[in-house]
């Protein structure tokens, strides 16, 4: 994370703030929901291991003298899975609406708030030999890649929600949705690590800038 010195304690003077209200609202709601989606997967496949519940139920019942094969108990464990999937689907629909909102925000941002302007500003600094700015350009491009990853997640997720209409590509979408999750995890881990590192090294105030908007980009 390389954009130097946009300390939140400095007074905001002229020009639009670095991060528009729209981007800030989108950022925090979206990050909460993406983390929530990852939690649903963690609970389904790691914490509860829903697929292994039926054999466990069967063993416990056998201890009490009730003999029911795991297959007869699958219905019970799928109740648990369905409850978690319902939350995943509703959070997914919210993420989809938010992505559409992010597109609207990108058209409403002013001057230096626009991603293209931020990249141009960093590129100009990098051309003068600023190595932190060079890294900053890469970070900005990584955000663009993340938006594409998120769009793939949303598109394949929505196809899975309406799978009845997309039977022929349902399986393919499931695979893509699953594999893309690893890109989401990689981004989230690198991003949170990068933001914390930037906060304590070359960009103090970067996190509060995503809360209060930060200084105008030209002064950063
Ligand atoms: C699932 C979790 C997260 C996702 C998906 C995410 C995604 C993003 C994206 C796409 C941007 C670029 C916004 C833009 O300018 O278009 C961004 C910027 C930013 N995020 Fe996150 N974020 C997450 C979590 C966090 C957390 C936990 C923090 C703080 C600790 C954080 C702090 C920031 C900051 C400070 C920026 C601005 C960086 C800059 O201006 O270069 N993010 N985030
Ligand atoms: C961005 C974070 C997201 C992550 C990490 C994520 C992860 C996953 C994973 C790993 C699966 C299991 C796929 C499989 O069974 O092979 C899944 C299923 C699914 N996801 Fe997502 N997803 C995300 C976003 C979304 C979005 C935006 C939607 C759109 C509404 C969505 C809708 C679904 C649906 C409908 C299923 C199938 C549920 C079922 O089998 O009953 N997901 N997701």
| Percent of residues, the chain, with pLDDT higher than 90 | 84
Residues sharing a CB contact under 8 Å with residue 217, sequence separation 6 or more, in sequence order: 15, 16, 18, 112, 113, 117, 118, 121
For ligand 2, pick from 31, 33, 92 the residue to mutate: most ligand atoms within 8 Å of CB.
Answer: 92
pLDDT for 126-179, tens place per residue?
A: 999 998 899 999 999 999 999 999 999 999 999 999 999 999 999 999 999 999
pLDDT band of 216, cuts 50, 70, 90:
confident
Domain ranges for the chain, please list them: 21-219
pLDDT band of 219, cuts 50, 70, 90:
low
Architecture of domain 21-219: Up-down Bundle (1.20)
Q: What is the pTM of this model?
A: 0.91
C-alpha–C-alpha distance, residues 149 and 184, integer Å? 7
Ligand nearest to the CA of 187: 1
Residue 22 has pLDDT above 80, yes or no: yes
Q: Is 29 in the pocket of ligand 1 (CB under 6 A)?
A: no
Residue 4 has pLDDT above 80, yes or no: no
The torsion of the CA quartet 116, 119, 124, 127, rounded to 10 degrees, works out to -130
Mean pLDDT score, 108-123: 90
Residue 8 has pLDDT above 70, yes or no: no
Atom of ligand 1 lying closest to residue 140 CA = 41
Res 16: pLDDT: 85
Alpha carbon 17 to its chain centroid, in Å, reads 23
Residue 34 has pLDDT above 60, yes or no: yes
Q: 37 alpha carbon to ligand 2 midpoint, in Å?
A: 8
For ligand 2, pick from 160, 169, 171, 183 the residue to mutate: most ligand atoms within 8 Å of CB.
Answer: 160
Residue 64 Cα distances to 57, 69, 83, angstroms: 11, 14, 27
pLDDT for 41-82, tens place per residue?
A: 999 999 999 989 999 999 999 999 999 999 999 998 899 999
C-alpha–C-alpha distance, residues 175 and 198, integer Å? 35
Res 108: pLDDT: 92
Q: 152 alpha carbon to ligand 2 midpoint, in Å?
A: 11
Residue 93 has pLDDT above 60, yes or no: yes
């Amino acid at each position: 994370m390389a954009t130097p010195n946009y300390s939140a304690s400095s007074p905001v003077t002229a020009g639009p703030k670095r991060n528009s209200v729209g981007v800030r609202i989108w950022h925090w709601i979206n990050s909460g929901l993406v983390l929530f989606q990852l939690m649903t997967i963690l609970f389904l496949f790691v914490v509860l291991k829903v697929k292994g519940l039926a054999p466990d139920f069967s063993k416990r019942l056998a201890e009490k003298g009730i003999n029911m094969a795991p297959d007869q108990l699958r219905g019970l464990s799928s109740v648990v899975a369905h409850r978690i999937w319902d939350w995943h689907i509703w959070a997914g629909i919210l993420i989809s609406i938010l992505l559409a909102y992010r597109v609207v925000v990108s058209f409403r941002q002013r001057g230096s708030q626009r991603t293209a302007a931020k990249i141009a500003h960093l590129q100009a600094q990098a051309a003068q030999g600023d190595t932190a700015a060079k890294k900053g350009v890469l970070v900005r491009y990584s955000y663009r890649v993340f938006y594409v990853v998120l769009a793939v997640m949303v598109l394949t997720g929505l196809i899975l929600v309406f799978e009845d209409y997309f039977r022929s590509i349902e399986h393919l979408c499931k695979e893509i949705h699953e594999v893309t999750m690893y890109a989401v995890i990689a981004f989230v881990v690198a991003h949170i690590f990068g933001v914390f590192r930037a906060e304590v090294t070359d960009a103090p105030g970067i996190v509060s800038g995503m809360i209060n908007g930060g200084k105008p980009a030209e002064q950063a």
